[in-house]
Structure 1
């Protein structure tokens, strides 16, 4: 069978997307993340490819492209969800602090564990490897918390979004501080070159923010006047172009995507004073609504193929290592211990099921694939990645199921309790006079 036949490829891709849709529906009813089902599907496909003698195919270039597009779509999707409304400032600020402290503390703990157990793991490299393991997955969390109470659902949306964005920035900051491959100097000695300093990186971010603001305003003002019905994918193409150009110029390109998403999602906040006259709010709102739909749909397709291909590329033998299981277990334990302390401080005693909603997912895999080849540690087993993704997802699944049963049970108790009633007659003027008469 020629699996490379174009018609077979179309059939295979279509079946995968259809299965992904049904996985999403199953996920809504069972709270089992569809990501796990996609990874398992990829593992089965891996066995099928080996059966047909295609086990040595190199999927990394496809995974890399899907990773870049997926990263852009996830950040854009998250930014479009962030409504900067006055009555939500406290909730947003609290979620921001929890996400930042959780990210830094979890990264520190994971780095200590990796440095202790893995050979050749320096402190800097340990932080680089630990950062992806400490980022919450908004791609898993946002669809999974739809059944929670309003304030809890909003907290998870804000927290996971901030964790994604800050985690990505922390990863690339650490990456910029690592030494690159040695080069031969003028005197024949090897010279270790370093990337930009912390101050230079901060300057890079400031420049990127200015560029992002200008570009975002210009894009909105131009696209609101475009009458064509195909402008949404044109807009996405422009954003992809800006991201790629920013990367070639060593700018923090994701800030461009984040800034644009925030501005178009909160146009009334950013277009004030003289700028308000330039904005055609009705037309711009159509762009936002259409972009939201396109982003969600594109992220769905990219996420589907990314996790399936990730499952195909998993080396199952690494899961049998006792050290991999032990390192993964310690990191998972540290995640929830740190999360318990932080949530207890900032949210009080009502921290269920929030405590266990801390899955790792797409961003974790994407950033691991972005670790520069010259600084990769041979002793690090990819099985750690899979253990932590599956472990945190299963823990979240169990917690959501328990919370759903508890909520359903409470509703049933209230519904089954008899509610008494009696007829009531409105008092008359005569009744009021009688009540006021003094007793003899």
Structure 2
């Protein structure tokens, strides 16, 4: 019963952090990490025997990533008026990711004395924006800024995972490996199209009072099978969410009219609410557990702190440059580039044969904490959205 009581209190506190974030403007992830860390210290103080929870972290992270990308994509509108923001968010998600990955890879190669390929595999996790932190942290921004962050961070996750898989799964980079890589993406697009229509059809036809949980489980199942075959599975999650959330834009097609868009939208709205609630729960558990597993020695490790500071400075400077190049307002968008869930998942996915001593738990934790702190300070300096003036 003690475990149930503890978990219940922690989740309720996570909910309190979430609903007070608008007032405090402190990202809930910071408070969740601190809460998880303090819980561990209390357990150690009272000599409470706690089993090894590390194997649970990747599982929670994967489910959380699926739900967060799904939650974000369900909120997005796709029409001609959105082409500009889609184009700019795509470029801002892709170009800095590539530049930062290659820059860090050269540094890791030089100081770590490893091949460039191995250095690049270790650099990519630090170049990907965490949608798990960025999307909920943007909730109090203007609608246009929140929309941009949702697009950018979701696409950053997808580009990062695809790029990471391409680097780690190919021993050589030649025409054959590139063509195979393109074939994998095309295959995933075909699978996504078929699976999306099938799941939408099931959602429309199922009359049973339980229908949304099976859909989420099927999404997770398709994602897992796609990952087994090294396909970019996040593309499927994004496309499914975009289709479900934008069926009104397709209502002039005869095939779509079979779904009865008006009634279907009511079901999608219920599905969106459930997805949001479950995503909150999984995200809270993930960051509580991550905070719980953090060791004080890892946070204060002097061997990696300089690297962590330099990486943090580099990614925010690069982001500011590209925001100016794309003629986007720098504040508050520049602060919304945290590293988090996706960074941890990619770091844990680095094959043992490709891991290097320079990139370790301490460096990952320090970069995550530093980027979250920069985001927190930046959001605190940002005026509440009702006081801001739109400048797009």
TM-score (structure 2 length as normaliser): 0.90
Match of 2:360 in 1: 381
Does the Cα contact within 8 Å between 1:129 and 1:368 map onto a contact in 2?
yes
* Residue from 221, 224, 231 that aligns with 1:244: 224
Q: Residue 403 in 1 paired to residue 377 in 2? A: no
Report the counterpart of residue 85 of structure 2 in structure 1.
Answer: 91
Summarize the Cα distance change of 1:374–1:50 in structure 2 as closer, same or farther, 3 Å threshold: farther
Structure 1 distance, partners of 2:55, 2:67, is 18
On the 8 A contact 1:114/1:327 being kept in 2, the answer is no
Alpha-carbon distance, 1:303 to partner = 0.9
- Asked if 1:176 is matched to 2:176, the reply is no
Deviation at 1:328, TM superposition (A): 0.5
Per-residue deviation, 1:408: 5.4
Bigger drift between 330-339 and 154-163 goes to 154-163
Q: Any unmatched runs of 5+ in structure 2?
A: none
Q: Say if 1:23 and 1:34, in contact at 8 Å, map to a contact too.
A: yes
1:123 aligns with one of 116, 120, 129: 116
- How far residue 314 of structure 1 moved from its aligned partner, in angstroms, is 1.8
Q: 1:206: how far off?
A: 0.9
1:353 Cα deviation after fit? 2.2
Partner of 1:263: 243
SS at match of 1:84: coil
Whose RCO is larger (CA < 8 A, sep 6+)?
2
SS in 1 for 2:51: coil
Distance 2:388 2:54 in 1: 48
Match in the other structure for 1:190: none
The residue aligned with 1:113 is 107
* Matched residue count: 387
Q: Deviations over 1:112-166 (max 9, x none)?
A: 333334x354322222222221122222222333333343333222222221222
Cα–Cα, structure 1 residues 312 and 147, in superposed 2: closer, same or farther, change >3 Å?
Answer: closer
- For the structure 1 residues 46 and 116, does the alpha-carbon distance in structure 2 shift closer, same or farther, using more than 3 Å as the test? farther
Retained in 2: the 8 A contact 1:132–1:367? Answer: yes
Q: Superposition RMSD on alpha carbons, in Å?
A: 2.5
Post-superposition offset of 1:306:
0.9
Cα deviation 1:317-376 (Å, max 9, x = unaligned): 13333331110011011112211211111115x322222222112221222222233432
Partner of 2:315: 335
Structure 1 residue 396, shift from structure 2 partner:
1.7
Query: What TM-score does the superposition give when structure 1 sets the normalisation length?
Result: 0.81
- Aligned residues of 1:69 and 1:302 also touching (Cα < 8 A): yes
Distance 1:149 1:34 in 2: 19
Residues 46 and 313 in structure 1, CA contact (< 8 A), matched pair in contact too:
yes
Residue in 2 that maps onto 1:312? 292
Contact kept? 2:121, 2:164, Cα under 8 Å: yes
- 2:135 pairs with 1:142: yes
The answer for unaligned runs of 5 or more in structure 1 is 1-6, 180-193, 411-440
CA-to-partner distance for each residue in 1:283-324, whole Å, 9 max, x for gaps?
Answer: 321332122112111111111111111112223213333331
Q: Deviations over 1:64-102 (max 9, x none)?
A: 221221121122122212211211111221111112112
Single out whichever of 241-250 and 299-308 deviates more from structure 2.
Answer: 241-250
